[in-house]
Every structure is written in C-alpha cells, then in structure tokens.
C-alpha cells in the first residue's frame, strides 16, 4: 500500500519540480555581486578606513562597567532615549531631528525605501561608495552616474544639468568622497541642493578628518539630509550611524526603521563614547598628520601618483601592474583596498592611514613591490 504522505510529496513535486531554489529569487538580486572584501588575515590592515588606534584606556574601562550592567534578557530601549540625547548634545540639535541606523548603510537603505518608488532614480557622482547603487538596485531604483573629472572633482554645471534632465529622487554626495578623498566645495553642494527636485544626502562619514562639516543645512533647506557614522571614528565594531534632518522628514524615515535596530550594547557604548568625544579628537589629529606624511612620501615615489585627501585614507594610482604590486604588499603583510576591475579604479589602491609603524611598513613594502 502506498504511504499517503509519499503520495502528497509526489503530487507536490509534479506541480513544483525540484529545481535550483535560486531560480525563485528576483532578477535584481541574482544580478548583484555579493559585497566582497578581501579578508586574508594580515598584520597590517589598511583597507577598511577604520581608526588604527584602540579607544583610550580610560574610556574602555568605563565601557566594561557599562556593558556588565546590560540586561541581556531584555529588548533594548526602543525609544533610544540616551543614545539620541547624546547625539543631540554633540550636534546641538533636537532628538527628533535624528534617525539612527545599524551602521549608516542601514540608513542609506531606509532613505531609499522612504523616498523612492520602484522605477525612480537616484544620482551619485562616480566613482563613489558602492552601497548607494547596490541598495538602489535591489529596491528597483536606478542610479544615474555623474562622472567625476580626472582630478576627482565634481563639475557643478554638468551635475546640475544632469539633475535637471534626470530629476532624481535622491542625490547621494559623499563628502569627503570614498574612495577619492575629495571634499566638494560648499558652492558646489549648494548648487546641487538648489537644482534638486528631491532630497540631497550629504554623507559625512569621513568628516572627522576633513576641514569642517557642511553644517545644519537642512534648517534652511529642508530637502537636505546629513549622514554620519561612528565606524570611521573608533567604533566600527559597534555599527552605528545617524542622520540629521528636518524633523518632518526624520519622522517619515523613522517609520521604516525596524524595531530594536540598535542593540543594547551598541546603545550603551555609543552613548558613552559620544559623551566623551573630546577624548577622541586628538586621535583624528594624529591620523591627519600621518596622512600628510604618507602623502608627501608617496609623491616622492616614482611608480605611484597619490591624490590629495581629506579623509582617513589616500587614493593612489599605481603605474605598473597593480595586481602584482597588490600581491607583493600582501606577501609583506600589508592589506590595502584594490577594487580590481572597477571602472577608473582598476589601477588605483585606497590606503587607510595606519599607525606610524604601519605606515612605515606600508611605504617600505611598497618601495620593494614596485
Ligand atoms: N558612507 C560612506 C561614504 C562610506 O565610505 C561608508 C563605509 N565604507 C559608509 C557610508 C557606511 O558606513 P557604516 O555602515 O559602517 O556606518
């Protein structure tokens, strides 16, 4: 006698024959290349734009105590009371002008979900941070590239013309830009805001290494959003980003934020670190000084062309076989970022500023590798 459950299974397989389940996935996801970062273990890591120094010892001691007090069996504070108060105090804004995310990546996603219907467009200077386009793509939103000039500056006239023609719902302006290190002049930012029918996101992920933020532009221009992250400034492990915007826009973006998106440890640690921000600012100064030393050294080396940077990394063009140079650096224990095959970046490395020792090791390995 046939087992009835076997009959059901046979019938089901007739209707839905077993196939590769990835065929059930949306085209736009299947087309995506998984976000890959080279993670070969390496003594000198200069590829992820992290701060090379640990948190100051005094602050770390405070954090152990705070973490020990975490109620791990409970959900975190849904209202993010202390965290948003600490951000509000640091930035001198109101709590309702803030939206927090599990890294600023998550906020980029929330912004596109909030602002773009499927089929809408975003515009970004290119090359830039890859996640704007990747997230837009899987949300059925297309990206209009505004190609940067050869020195990685942004031509305001051309960008304004493109915005007027394409009418993007969002413009993402990373400033300083990743991977070029260029901070766009205020005049350019203002012209783009003026011309934009939608929202302009000024992504200031690297602002601690630059010569000043754009400021609270959204107070005069409510279509502006300022995006920040703690990842480049000592807390990459905690995943915390935040946006500052007109409270009416912030309230809308907050609607798509998943409940409890910031875990209790991150809330507590980030709150404490934000309250003691002055303990970190000397570290940012150190990175800036090291950046200038590396830049000047790279200028003296024949086989490379460094670009000036206002971030905690330097982009440099490698004039001979970049694959071979990259491999030799890895052999010497130094990992830099190489977006192999990326348009206009295939012969460029992005090198995050490290400690003095790491920078020396990088420069020595580079000289030997060229
Ligand atoms: N914006 C820019 C310009 C970046 O370079 C990065 C990280 N590489 C991010 C946002 C995302 O940072 P996170 O998600 O770590 O906050």
Q: What is the DSSP string of 306-353?
A: E---SSSEEEEEESS-HHHHHHHHHHTTEEEB--TT-TTTTTEEEEE-
H helical segments located in 45-99: 57-68, 81-91
Between helices 131-138 and 104-115, what is the axis angle to 10°? Answer: 40
Pocket of ligand 1 (CB under 6 A): 49, 103-105, 129, 174, 178, 203, 205, 229, 231, 241
Query: What percent of the chain shows pLDDT beyond 70?
Result: 94
Upper half-sphere CA count for residue 308 (Cβ side, 13 Å): 7
CA–CA distance, 291 with 363 (Å, rounded to integer): 12
Q: Closest Cα to atom 1, ligand 1: which residue?
A: 205
Cβ-count burial of 293 within 10 angstroms (0-12 exposed, 13-18 middle, 19+ buried)? Answer: middle
Give per-residue pLDDT as tens, 2-12. Answer: 566 666 666 66
CB distance 318 to 304 below 8 Å:
yes
- Helix (H) / strand (E) element for 45: namely strand 44-46
Give per-residue pLDDT as tens, 274-309. Answer: 999 999 999 999 999 999 999 999 999 999 999 999
Tell me what pLDDT residue 4 has.
Answer: 64
Q: What distance in angstroms lies between residue 104's CA and the mean position of ligand 1's atoms? A: 6
Tell me what pLDDT residue 5 has.
Answer: 65
The best mutation among 48, 104, 339 to test binding of ligand 1, ranked by most ligand atoms within 8 Å of the C-beta, falls on 104
CA–CA distance, 204 with 202 (Å, rounded to integer): 6
Residue 173 DSSP SS3: strand
Q: What distance in angstroms lies between residue 229's CA and the mean position of ligand 1's atoms? A: 7
Q: What distance in angstroms lies between residue 130's CA and the mean position of ligand 1's atoms? A: 9
Tell me what pLDDT residue 36 has.
Answer: 67
Pull the structure tokens for residue 96: 């309702």
Residue 96 DSSP SS3: helix
Nearest to 33 by CA among 138, 178, 119: 138
State pTM to two decimals. Answer: 0.94
Residue 233 has pLDDT above 90, yes or no: yes
Residue 84 has pLDDT above 70, yes or no: yes
Residue 10 backbone phi and psi in degrees, to 5: -60, -40
């Amino acid at each position: 006698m046939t087992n009835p459950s076997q009959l059901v299974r046979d019938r089901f397989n007739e209707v839905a024959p077993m196939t590769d389940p990835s065929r059930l996935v949306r085209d736009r996801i299947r087309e995506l290349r998984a976000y890959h970062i080279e993670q070969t273990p390496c003594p000198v890591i200069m590829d992820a734009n992290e701060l090379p120094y640990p948190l100051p010892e005094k602050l770390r001691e405070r954090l152990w105590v705070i973490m020990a007090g975490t109620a791990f069996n409970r959900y975190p504070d849904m209202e993010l009371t202390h965290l948003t108060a600490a951000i509000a105090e640091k930035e001198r804004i109101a709590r309702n002008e803030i939206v927090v995310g599990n890294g600023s990546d998550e906020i980029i996603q929330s912004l596109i979900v909030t602002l773009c219907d499927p089929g809408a467009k975003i515009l970004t200077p290119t090359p830039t941070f890859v996640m704007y386009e990747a997230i837009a793509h899987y949300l059925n939103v297309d990206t209009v590239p505004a190609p940067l000039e050869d020195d990685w500056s942004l031509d305001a006239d051309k960008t304004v013309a493109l915005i007027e023609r394409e009418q993007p719902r969002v413009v993402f302006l990373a400033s300083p830009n990743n991977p070029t290190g260029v901070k766009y002049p205020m005049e350019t930012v203002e012209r783009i805001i003026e011309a934009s029918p939608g929202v302009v996101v000024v992504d200031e992920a690297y602002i601690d290494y630059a010569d000043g933020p754009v400021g609270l532009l959204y107070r005069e221009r409510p279509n502006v959003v300022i995006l920040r992250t703690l990842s480049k400034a000592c807390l990459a492990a905690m995943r915390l980003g935040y946006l500052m915007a007109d409270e009416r826009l912030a309230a809308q973006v907050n609607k798509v934020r998943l409940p409890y998106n910031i875990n209790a440890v991150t809330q507590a640690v980030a709150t404490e670190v934000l309250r003691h921000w002055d303990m970190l600012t000397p570290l940012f100064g150190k990175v800036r000084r090291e950046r200038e030393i590396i830049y000047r050294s790279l200028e003296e080396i024949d086989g490379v062309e460094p670009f000036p940077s206002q971030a905690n990394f330097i982009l440099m063009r490698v004039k001979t076989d970049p694959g071979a140079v990259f491999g030799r650096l890895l052999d010497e224990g130094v990992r830099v970022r190489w977006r192999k095959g990326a348009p206009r970046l295939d012969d460029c490395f992005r090198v995050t500023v490290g400690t003095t020792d790491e920078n020396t090791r990088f420069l020595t390995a580079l000289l030997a590798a060229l």
